[in-house]
Amino acid sequence: MHASELTMYPGDKPQQVDLDRCVHCGLCLNACPTYRELGVEMDSPRGRIYQMVQVANGAPITEAYQEHIDLCLACRGCESACPSGVQYGKLVEAARSHIEAEVERGFWARSLRDFVFRQLLPSPALLTAAGAGLWMYQASGLQKLMRVTGLVNLLGPMKDREALSPAAQIPFFFREIGKTFPAEGKQKYRVAFMAGCIANVSFARLNEATVRVLQKNGCEVVVPGDQTCCGALHVHAGIRDKARELARRNVDAVVDGNFDAIITNAAGCGSTLKEYGELLEHDPKYADRAAKFTSLMKDINEFLGSIELNTNMGRVDATVTYQDSCHLAHGQKIRKQPRDLLKAIPGIDFKPMPLSDMCCGSAGIYNVMHTELSMSILEKKMVNVNSTRAQVIATANPGCMIQLEAGVKKWGRGGERVVHVVELLDEAYTKAGK
C-alpha cells in the first residue's frame, strides 16, 4: 500500500503532550540495550525522543531519523526506568506509524512488507503453506545437513538468521481453532484463548499445553473460530491501519461470547491485545466493544496468578531461571506472577537471573531485521543466563523462546532447555496423574 493511501488518526504520530513529559534527565539510558551496545545518544531513549520533538516541530523525516527509530527494540525498558512517566512505547509506535505515512518506500520493499503484514500473517492458508515448507526443510534432514557440512556458512551474515528459524510443529494448532475444550472437574470459568498467527505453526505444542493447564484450573476453553493475528507486529512496524482491521475482527470474534477472560500465552501479543481500546478509540462503532475486549484481556500468567491455582502437581526436579519478556514486565507490569507460578511447582529450585528484565534482543522480528545487533545483545544476555547455572530457562513469550534457544546453542553451557512457564506447569500436572 502507498503511504499516501493511509488514513491517519490522532495518536498515529507522536503527540506534543506525550513528548513534553520527557525532561531529558537521562535516567533511562542505562536501561536501554541499544544505548549500552552502541554508546550513541541518538540511539538512546532520550536521544530518540529529542529527534521526535524535532520532527513534531517541523524538521524533515531524514534517513538518519528513520534508522535511529528503526534500531529501537521497542522493549520499553526505558519506560520502567523513567521517573517522569514517559510512555515511550506509545511514542515509538506513533513515530513508526508517522514514518509509514510520510515515507514512500521502493517497489520491492513495499511489496515485501505488504505481503508479510497484509497477506501472510493474517492468513491461516498461507501460514500453513509456509509452515509445511519449513517442516519439509527441517524434517527431510536438509537443515541438519546444511549445518553439519558447514554449507550454512555459505549464507554469510544470513547464517545467524537461519539459526533463528523456529521449528515447524506438525500437526499445526490451526486444527483446534473453532473448538471448545471442557473444564476438568467443576467448571469455574469460561475463557477464550487467542492462539496467535505464527504460533499455530511453530508453537502448536505450547498452545496445546496452555489449553490443558487452563482445563486443569477449572476453565472451559473456547478457541474462537473467527480469530486472527493480533496485529502486534503491525503496530510495532507502524502499520496501524491493518492492525485496526485485525483488531476489529478479533473483537467481533470474541467480545460477545460471555467470557470471564480472554487469554494469551504470548506477552508480545498480549501487550497489543490490551491496547485495542486505545487503537480503536476513534472508531465510533468499535470504541466501546474494544474497551470491553481490553478489560477482559489477560496474559496466562496474570490469569493463573489471579485465581486459586490447582496445586495437584507432580515434581519437576530442575534448577530454573526466569527471563522477563519485555512486553510482560515493561509493557504489562507483570513480574511477580510467573515467578510465583514457577515456585509453586514442587521440585523446582528457582535461581534469579541478574538483569532478567533487560531485552534478549528478540523484539518481534528485530532479530531478523537487525541480526548483528540482536546477537550482540543476546551474547550479553547469555552471560547472565549462564551465571545462574540453571538447567531450564523459563520465559513467557514465544519470540523470546526462539531467541534464547539460539543463545543456548551458541553461548550456552550445554544441554539447557528453554521453555514457557506454562509448559513447566503442564509437565507438573501431567506427572501428578501418574
| Interacting residue ranges for ligand SF4, rule: CB under 6 A | 22-28, 31-34, 45-46, 48-49, 72-78, 81-82, 84, 86, 88
- Please name the amino acid found at residue 242: K
Q: State the minimum distance, in angstroms, from the CB of residue 34 to ligand SF4.
A: 4
> Residue 227 corresponds to which cell in the numbers above?
480469530
**Distances 293 to 178, 230, 418 between C-alpha atoms, Å:** 19, 12, 31
Nearer to ligand SF4, 216 or 240 (CB): 240
390: left (phi over 0), alpha (psi -120 to 50) or beta: beta
Nearer to ligand SF4, 46 or 298 (CB): 46
Cα 53 from Cα 55, distance rounded (Å): 5
**Distances 21 to 14, 91, 118, 302 between C-alpha atoms, Å:** 12, 11, 34, 29
Nearer to ligand SF4, 40 or 103 (CB): 40
Q: State the minimum distance, in angstroms, from the CB of residue 85 to ligand SF4.
A: 8
Q: State the minimum distance, in angstroms, from the CB of residue 394 to ligand SF4.
A: 22
Residue 360, helix vs strand vs coil: coil
At residue 131's C-alpha, the angle toward residues 128 and 135, to 5°, is: 135
Nearer to ligand SF4, 165 or 376 (CB): 376
Nearer to ligand SF4, 212 or 370 (CB): 370
Q: State the minimum distance, in angstroms, from the CB of residue 400 to ligand SF4.
A: 14
Nearer to ligand SF4, 70 or 283 (CB): 70
At residue 136's C-alpha, the angle toward residues 135 and 137, to 5°, is: 90
Q: State the minimum distance, in angstroms, from the CB of residue 301 to ligand SF4.
A: 21
Nearer to ligand SF4, 255 or 269 (CB): 269
Adjacent-strand bridge partners of 180:
222
8 A C-beta contact, residue 42 and residue 48: yes
Residue 178, helix vs strand vs coil: coil
Q: State the minimum distance, in angstroms, from the CB of residue 21 to ligand SF4.
A: 7
Cα 208 from Cα 193, distance rounded (Å): 11
Query: Of 37, 30, 44, nearest to 92 (Cα)?
Result: 44
Q: Is 165 exposed, middle or buried (0-12, 13-18, 19+ CB in 10 A)?
A: middle
Q: State the minimum distance, in angstroms, from the CB of residue 22 to ligand SF4.
A: 3
Q: State the minimum distance, in angstroms, from the CB of residue 164 to ligand SF4.
A: 19
> Residue 10 corresponds to which cell in the numbers above?
490522532
Cα 281 from Cα 289, distance rounded (Å): 10
Nearer to ligand SF4, 72 or 269 (CB): 72
Q: State the minimum distance, in angstroms, from the CB of residue 32 to ligand SF4.
A: 3
Nearer to ligand SF4, 73 or 121 (CB): 73
Nearer to ligand SF4, 234 or 236 (CB): 236
Strand pairing category for 189-193 and 261-264: parallel
Q: State the minimum distance, in angstroms, from the CB of residue 405 to ligand SF4.
A: 22
8 A C-beta contact, residue 6 and residue 241: yes
Q: State the minimum distance, in angstroms, from the CB of residue 5 to ligand SF4.
A: 29
8 A C-beta contact, residue 184 and residue 226: no
Residue 14, helix vs strand vs coil: coil
Cis peptide bond upstream of 284, omega within 30? no
Nearer to ligand SF4, 72 or 177 (CB): 72
Alpha-carbon dihedral 111, 113, 119, 121, rounded to 10 degrees: 160
